[in-house]
Structure 1
Amino acid sequence: MKEPVDPHPQADGQGPSDLDWGRIVEEHSDRVYRLALRLTGNRHDAEDLTQEVFVRVFRSLHTYTPGTFEGWLHRITTNLFLDQARRRQRIRFDALSEERAARLASASPAPESAYADQTFDDDVAAALGSLPPDFRAAVVLCDIEGLSYEEIAEILGAKLGTVRSRIHRGRALLRTALAHRAPTAGRTRYAGPALAVGRGVST
């Protein structure tokens, strides 16, 4: 079993070795891509965003300070997405099919990852795509990535109250967009953020 890669650069300040950099990409690319897909809503933009994230990581690795490396990747991915979204008047959002979602799962995904991919269906993808980018990012990080309000505030560089407001308003818009949903026989469906446990959602 491989030990987790140390994301710190070499002592000479020239950046990570080829082996370390390869392991960083290997260990984190799937998760970054999943987040990018849920933010952008289509495979092509997700691939472009993932590539841009790792270019940014490579260039900025010498500035990384000890902490949660995954959190650092969340922050880079989300902020790059928001930068792109703000440069566009409209983000093209293609529905994520179940077939695409199945291909996202790794050979041996963690149970929570497999569940998220299975249930991230067309309706949820389309509803997320209708949200303003700031709301979408906050809801994705909270209700899909499972981050706390404090973690999201740090990633977005926003006040805690602002994060709570974006999540609350984003969830309200999602409830409206998903109001037509009804259980389908023989199919497990994502219940939507209205049923998220422990996230302060009123019933």
Structure 2
Amino acid sequence: MGNAARTRENAPEAEWAPPSWDEVVREHSARVYRLAYRLTGNQHDAEDLTQEVFVRVFRSLSNYTPGTFEGWLHRITTNLFLDMARRRQRIRFEGLADDAAERLQGREPTPAQAFDDTNFDADVQAALDALAPEYRAAVVLCDIEGLSYEEISATLGVKLGTVRSRIHRGRAQLRAALEHRAPTRRRPGTRNEYQAAEARQAVGGGEAVGGGEAAAPAGGLRAAGGAMPQPDGV
């Protein structure tokens, strides 16, 4: 969190004043875009989602209760993504003719440009894209963003048991999708051993895919290029 936002949150509630649009975008745009990309799986949707998040933030700042600003952004970003995913799924199924079942496809492959922008493993992103939106959100928040189960429960507005179930099932599906990256025979000190370790660490780092609490991986996605457009009235 930036110094400006932290100072505001530590000040008495009566003295708290919402940050400016420029401050919010400057301090949080990279984090929001990173989460948006992990959730949507492509640059175009990530940029659209990021813009929608900051429009929502701008409209809601006056009603924000000082607390964990990043947690508030996580909640807005994830909820907007889930709304978008449900809306698109409904439109896709309702809009197809009876003879167009063969047109039902999953998410389009991640564009090369998006891969260059994020420097994120294509296999892992494809595996994330294949998850149901609810599972994907839980896994991304835990294994990539580093949130605890309790924080994810608050962000998604679901019970702790539901969070654990979604993460467990999401990780199981990721393991199955990435199984081709783990050689069946591994000898200590060989290249196969290192490739297997890379596959285990592909999502979230360490044992994050297999189970247990996860930490966010080193590095991260680069923010979307260019300045963030401002909503009307800023």
Shift of 1:95: 2.6
Measured after TM superposition, the shift of residue 66 of structure 1 is 1.6
Q: Say if 1:180 and 1:199 are closer, same or farther in 2 by CA, change over 3 A.
A: closer
Q: CA deviation at 1:195?
A: 2.0
Question: Which residue is 1:103 aligned to?
Answer: 117
Q: CA–CA distance in 1 between the matches of 2:111 and 2:198?
A: 14
Contact preservation (8 Å) 1:143, 1:196: yes
> What is the 5 A alignment of 1:114-193?
120-182=120-182, 189=198, 191-193=201-203
Letter in 1 for 2:32: V
In structure 2, the gaps of 5 or more residues are 93-105, 184-190, 214-234
Please tell me the residue identity of whatever aligns with 1:56. Answer: R
Q: Percent identity?
A: 66
TM-superposed deviation, 1:182? 3.9
Match of 2:81 in 1: 81
Q: CA deviation at 1:72?
A: 0.2
SS in 2 for 1:23: helix
Contact 2:49 2:80 (8 Å CA) reproduced: yes
Superposed CA deviations along residues 115-163 of structure 1, whole A, max 9, x for unmatched, are xxx5x30000000000000000000000011100000000000000000
Partner-residue secondary structure (3-state), 1:151? helix
Shift of 1:3: 3.1
| Residue identity in the other structure for 2:109 | D
For 1:74 and 1:192, the matched residues in 2 are separated by: 22
Do structure 1's residue 195 and structure 2's residue 207 form an aligned pair? yes
- Code of the residue aligned with 2:123 in structure 1: it is D
C-alpha distance in 2 between matches for 1:7 and 1:28: 15
56-65 vs 74-83, greater mean Cα deviation = 56-65
Distance 1:134 1:147 in 2: 15
Query: Structure 1: how far apart are the matches of 2:210 and 2:151?
Result: 15
Q: Indicate the SS of the match to 2:4.
A: coil
Give the secondary-structure state (helix, strand or coil) at the position aligned to 1:92: coil
Q: Which moved more, 1:84-93 or 1:50-59?
A: 84-93
2:179 match: secondary structure:
coil
Please give the TM-score of this superposition, normalised by the length of structure 2: 0.67
Secondary structure of 1:146's counterpart equals coil
Q: Is contact 2:41–2:110 with CA below 8 Å preserved after alignment?
A: yes
Match of 2:225 in 1: none
CA distance in 2, matches of 1:138, 1:148: 10
CA-atom RMSD in angstroms: 3.2
The Cα shift of 1:65 comes to 0.8
Query: For residues 52-67 of structure 1, what are the structure 2 equivalents within 5 Å?
Result: 52-67=52-67
Distance 1:198 1:180 in 2: 16
Deviation at 1:103, TM superposition (A): 3.4
TM superposition shift of 1:96: 6.3
Secondary structure of the residue aligned to 1:195 is coil
Shift of 1:4: 2.6
Q: Which amino acid in structure 1 is aligned with residue 107 of structure 2?
A: R
Report the AA paired with residue 95 of structure 1.
Answer: T
1:92 aligned partner: 107
User: What is the CA-CA distance between 1:21 and the residue it aligns to?
Assistant: 1.6
**Unmatched 5+ stretches in structure 1:** 105-117
1:165 to 1:66, Cα distance in 2 relative to 1, 3 A: same
User: Over residues 36-67 of structure 1, what are the superposed CA-to-partner deviations in whole Å (9 max), with x where a residue is unaligned?
Assistant: 00000000000000000000000111111121
Counterpart amino acid of 1:47? E
| Matched letter for residue 208 of structure 2 | A
